[in-house]
Amino acid sequence: MNDNFNFDFDGFGDGGGGGAGGGGGDQGSYEAPKMGGSDAAFLYVLFTFQFFVCTFGTYMFFAKLFGSKEYKREKKVTAPKLCIQFFLILLNAFWMWHTYKLIALDNEMADKSFDPYRNLGLTMPTNVKEGFGTTEVKKAYRKLARKYHPDK
């Protein structure tokens, strides 16, 4: 059985279902499986879609702008329609830029591991099972709150 999926059915933390013979030792917790890699796949797909829309829109814009008089008459090309299409191309390019920035941010955050105790300025105790006391965490939090308070 996979040790990552251990459930505590009776709430006593012994991993058993209660009653006689329900002991199970250290099986009273559930740990979610670790996900590897980045979660930015959607952003890459979105960026690719935006790229193709922008490329096709730009192609059609220049085809309408520099096309023959017959083509312009057939497609009913007017200056307001060209302005609207140009605005939509710029809007899509702006959206692409923001998607790119989100991808870059996701990659940057994937390189860093989040440690809230380090952000509070607390160092890991020598005995890891001991952990941090509530008073230590509150004291460090209040110190940072005073330091970064906007009214100060």
Write the DSSP assignment of 8-49 as a string of letters: -SSSSSSSS-SSTT---SS---B-PPPPPS-S-HHHHHHHHH
Q: What mean pLDDT comes out for the span 108-127?
A: 73
pLDDT at residue 86 in the model: 96
pTM of the model: 0.50
* pLDDT at res. 39: 66
Q: What is the mean pLDDT of the chain?
A: 77
- pLDDT tens digits for 28-45? 554 544 545 556 788 889
Residue 37 CB coordination number (10 Å): 7
Quick one: pLDDT band at residue 7, thresholds 50, 70, 90? very low
Model confidence at 58: pLDDT above 90: yes
Among 36-40, 101-105, 115-119, 137-141, name the one with the lowest average pLDDT: 36-40
Question: pLDDT value at position 133?
Answer: 77
What mean pLDDT is predicted for residues 70-92? 94
Residue 105 confidence (pLDDT): 86
Q: Where are the domains of the chain?
A: 41-111, 116-148
